[in-house]
Amino acid sequence: DGSEIVDIENYVKANRAQPNEKMTGIAKRKNVFVISFESLQDFVINNTVDGEAITPFLNSLIKESYYFPNFYHQTGQGKTSDSEFLLENSLYPLPSGAVFFTHSQNAYHGTPNQLKESGYYSAVFHANNKSFWNRDVMYDSLGYDHFYDVDSYSVTEENSIGWGLKDGPFFEQSIEYLKHMPKPFYSKFITLTNHFPFTLEEEDQIIPPWTSSSGTLNRYFTTVRYTDEAVKNFFERLKEEGLYEDSIFILYGDHYGISENHNKAMSQYLGREITPFESAQLQKVPLIIHIPGQKGKVIETVGGQIDLKPTIFNLLGIDLKDDIYFGNDLFSKEHSNAAVFRDGSFITKDFVYTKDLCYEKATGMETDIEKCEPYKEKTEQELHYSDRIIYGDLLRFFDKNNGTDVKVKK
Ligand code: GP9
Ligand code: MN
């Protein structure tokens, strides 16, 4: 029924952080580039392997961007699609299965739909089959105007590896479409080369694979380095085409790339044991918000992909008002400074809760479970409410959004 939505409405209202007013509208009517980096974890940022920088371009971009070193992925079995779901709705993906498959026909207040009311055109760029992760259906529900899928790209044996078109030609071929795109636009680019099993031909290897016992981790550094270069070239091309100045760039990792099966090699690389406490911290993915003309700043707030949408909307100066969403503006002083994982684990400023144990963040030492208890209850409540919205298709009872005409299906 519709009454459950009232409880949820009250919960999100009570947990709403006032967005940072200094940031409100600083990117008003700018084009938005979201770049979702396949399997990019934060530990490679500002780091080296055998003396070579792994992400030299991102490292330099960070110096002129807002960088969030305590930002976490919150995905489940839906992997990339879950990160997209978090981005577009500020709702959590499901505890099992992929919401892109199981609930693609629900009523959503997707970012593309909502931005339409402010005159934005929206497009996704991803060189895979359109039906992978049921994207073609879900993108309609979210309100995307166009999906540049694999059929929009010239894919040959030479320009492909592993999952398909390499990131270099992917970005290069996207330029032509961008040149003719109605403005302002909201665009999302999903990279592919840095996907397990992280294969790359020798001629594309800017740094060689590492030498640990895990071939997966060894190759990972090489494919991350490749994608970093591809994005560097993309930025150069955007500048050449006059598409850079009037735009903002939201770059983030979609989820982990190196699973716990590679703990031995990871521990060799990081020089410390990979405990459950460390494993939780390894779920950090980079978040870089680049606004041309703005100085660089590191923002230590603990947050996650659930926060992307309200953060972006505040930068664009579009008020989400009383809409139902669980994230908060990452620039807000009132942000809870916490990130909830899909399995019920969570990280706050002071604690890490994972595998039924509570750890002190500063020391990594196990501590009284009571210290984590209040956050544990809130985490469970929040995940439960988000799940209820999806299972009950509850947003169909709730079409309030900023007084705008959000499409409500059925
Ligand atoms: C597939 C790409 C990778 O199109 O998004 O998906 P993943 O396996 O990471 O979910
Ligand atoms: Mn992925």
Q: Is the CB of 135 under 6 A from ligand 1?
A: no
Query: How do residues 174-197 score in pLDDT, each as one tens digit?
Result: 999 999 999 999 999 999 999 999
Whether 239 contacts 61, CB under 8 Å = no
* Cα separation, 325 vs 315, whole angstroms: 17
Whether 143 contacts 110, CB under 8 Å = yes
Catalytic pick among 24, 55, 75, 80:
80
Going by pLDDT thresholds of 50, 70 and 90, the confidence category of residue 407 is: very low
190 CA: nearest ligand 1 atom: 5
Q: Is the CB of 11 under 6 A from ligand 1?
A: no
Give residue 409's pLDDT: 34
Residues 282-295 as b/e (b if ≥16 CB within 10 A, e otherwise) read bbbbbbbbbbeeee
Phi-psi sector, 398: left (phi>0), alpha (psi -120 to 50), beta:
beta
Question: ipTM score of the complex?
Answer: 0.99
Rounded to the nearest integer, the mean pLDDT of the chain is 96
- Residue closest via CA to ligand 1's atom 5 equals 80
Whether 309 contacts 87, CB under 8 Å = yes
In a mutational test of the pocket of ligand 1, which residue from 139, 160, 166, 195 has the highest number of ligand atoms less than 8 Å from its CB? 195
135 CA: nearest ligand 1 atom: 4
Q: Is the CB of 165 under 6 A from ligand 1?
A: no
Query: How do residues 359-380 score in pLDDT, each as one tens digit?
Result: 999 999 999 999 999 999 999 9
Whether 197 contacts 216, CB under 8 Å = yes
80 CA: nearest ligand 1 atom: 10
Whether 307 contacts 335, CB under 8 Å = yes
Name the pTM for this structure: 0.97
Report how far apart, in Å, the C-alpha atoms of 329 and of each of 250, 311, 312, 320, 389 are: 14, 4, 8, 11, 21
Q: Tell me if residue 73 falls in helix, strand or coil.
A: coil
Query: How do residues 286-342 score in pLDDT, each as one tens digit?
Result: 999 999 999 999 999 999 999 999 999 999 999 998 999 999 999 999 999 999 999
Which ligand approaches the C-alpha of residue 93 most closely? 1
Longest Cα–Cα distance of the chain, Å, equals 60
Query: How do residues 87-145 score in pLDDT, each as one tens digit?
Result: 999 999 999 999 999 999 999 999 999 999 999 999 999 999 999 999 999 999 999 99
Mean pLDDT of 61-90: 98
What is the distance in A from the centroid of ligand 1 to the CA of 80?
A: 5
Give residue 106's pLDDT: 97
Give residue 347's pLDDT: 98
Give the chain's count of helices (H) and strands (E).
12, 19
Mean pLDDT of 253-266: 98
Report how far apart, in Å, the C-alpha atoms of 348 and of each of 85, 230, 286, 339, 340 are: 23, 34, 17, 6, 9
Whether 328 contacts 335, CB under 8 Å = yes
The response to whether 146 counts as a known ligand-binding position is: no
Q: Tell me if residue 363 falls in helix, strand or coil.
A: coil
Determine the distance from the C-alpha atom of residue 1 to the mean position of all C-alpha atoms in its chain, rounded to a whole number: 32
Asked whether residue 403 carries a pLDDT value surpassing 60, the answer given is no
81 CA: nearest ligand 1 atom: 10
Query: How do residues 192-232 score in pLDDT, each as one tens digit?
Result: 999 999 999 999 999 999 999 999 999 999 999 999 999 99
Whether 125 contacts 187, CB under 8 Å = yes
Q: Is the CB of 40 under 6 A from ligand 1?
A: no
Going by pLDDT thresholds of 50, 70 and 90, the confidence category of residue 1 is: low
**Helices 4-14 and 373-391 meet at what angle, rounded to 10?**
140
Give residue 321's pLDDT: 86
The response to whether 80 counts as a known ligand-binding position is: yes
Query: How do residues 10-42 score in pLDDT, each as one tens digit?
Result: 999 999 999 999 999 999 999 999 999 999 999
Mean pLDDT of 60-72: 98
What is the distance in A from the centroid of ligand 1 to the CA of 187?
A: 18
Active site residue 80: yes
Whether 106 contacts 141, CB under 8 Å = yes
Q: Is the CB of 290 under 6 A from ligand 1?
A: no
